[in-house]
A and B are shown apart, each in its own frame.
Chain A
Amino acid sequence: MRIGVITFPGTLDDRDAARAVNVGGAEAVSLWHADADLKNVDAVILPGGFSYGDYLRCGAISRFAPVMKLVIEAAGEGMPVLGICNGFQVLCESHLLPGALTRNSDLHFLCRDQEIEITNNATAWTTSFADGEWITIPLKNGEGSFQCDNQTLAKLESEGRVIARYVGVNPNGSRNLIAGITNERGNIVGLMPHPEHAIDPLTGPSAQGLGFFTSILNAMVK
């Protein structure tokens, strides 16, 4: 199984994401933002970083990259897409996911190990987890506060589309402690914290992030 990892100018977690894909058991395929070619991948990861310098709004310019046109089409047809951190912001700007990520409520860039609870283990990217499982993975961003209108929030909650929540004190002012969400179909997931940095206890706080990268294999086998 081939999983594309997109590199935009300013992306910085593409290497870790590709390594996580490989450790998870799939083949990572590098995709370049300016290419209008998905290289026959089965799924796509939009990694973290500061694509296009976060100019205008985080993810606002990446959304119009040539490769994103194909990602948006393929995602609409059910291809699994995982957006991590800046990738989550790109997915929101692309309107593949509702809401938006705004400045952390205390205006600080946060970088720390964060406990989150998996609250939906039925998406393409979360089946390796138990429902309600707590995992610890790094959180590192300046604009990670998930915001949306009340109607959207009620819809996300009633449809079980919040896939992960922060445990304990709200780190960034996200509504309802939301750390990650999915679309109606469950193929597109956006997540603020970084599972790709937690696939080996040697270099991360845990290996609990690996579940996102093994889940996708289950999704493909089904």
Chain B
Amino acid sequence: MAIIVVDVMLKPEILDPQGNAVASALPRLGFTFANSVRQGKRFEIEIDGEPTPAQLTEVEQAAEVLLSNPVIETYVVRVEK
């Protein structure tokens, strides 16, 4: 069994009000380390066995058409060990 992870993030130029809200909440709690925060989504996809290159290509396709909206988001596909 392997887990394929797809991380989806808003493109840098897209306003991220959720990330901004988190960034402004941190100092209120005494956490002063953050210059900025961007919030994204993480998908964990479980498959049988080790993923084949063909499967990873399929996941890339799924990330492109469904898991992300390429108009406003980018994605990264990786395999969790």
Contacts and interface: CB of A to CB of B under 8 A. Distances in A.
B72 A147 contact: yes
Interface string B5-20: 0000010011101100
A149 B11 CA distance: 10
Contact of A92 (B14, B67, B71): B71
A166 B40 CA distance: 29
B72 A107 contact: no
B66 A102 contact: no
B43 to A, nearest CB: 10
A88 to B, nearest CB: 13
Contacts of B21: 107
Interface in B20-71: 21, 66-67, 69, 71
A94 to B, nearest CB: 11
A93 B21 CA distance: 25
Contacts of A24: none
Given A100-B71, A102-B72, A103-B18, A149 B66 contact: no
Contacts of A106: 17
Interface in A48-67: 56-57, 60, 64
